[in-house]
Amino acid sequence: MAVLRDGESREVKDEEEILQRVYNYYRELYAQPAVAPTEKQKLEEVLTLLDNQVSEADNLQLLEPPNADELGEAVKKLLSDKAPGEDGLPAEVLRELWGEVGPYCLKFIQNVWQTKNLGKRNTGAIIKLLPKNDRKEDL
């Protein structure tokens, strides 16, 4: 991105300033609550009207860490031809090498389940800016 237009339609060309503005834009965007406080009560009222609830037995099963078979089935269901995550491994490679990497993945997932901590390295994301119109300089 060589040029960025800010909220006041000023053009920014300095690379560091562009990066800072993009960072600030997304930090503020994702800091917003998923549900506005004014809508939260309405949402809770609607949820009380739903009949489907998780039974105690289902809840206990859902709280159990996944086992090797469940994880293997989940990997088989991963969609093909999708962009890989930050690790760079597309689903096709993961499926092909599952016999070798599966035990390591299971150990990692069970550790996360037990500690309830993904670790800093696994909670990041890569944001790729994709233009949705001809005005590529607008966020």
Taking only the tens place, the pLDDT of each residue in 35-76 is: 777 788 888 888 888 877 788 999 999 999 999 999 999 999
How many structural domains are present in the chain? Answer: 1
Q: What average pLDDT does range 92-102 have in this prediction?
A: 93
Q: What pTM did the predictor assign?
A: 0.56
Within-domain flag for 108: yes
Domain holding 83, by residue range, is 65-125
Q: 36-50 as b/e, with b when 16 or more CB fall inside 10 Å?
A: eeeeeeeeeeeeeee
Within-domain flag for 1: no
pLDDT-derived band at 121 (thresholds 50, 70, 90) equals: confident
Within-domain flag for 88: yes
Q: Distance between CA 93 and CA 55 in Å, rounded?
A: 37
Within-domain flag for 32: no
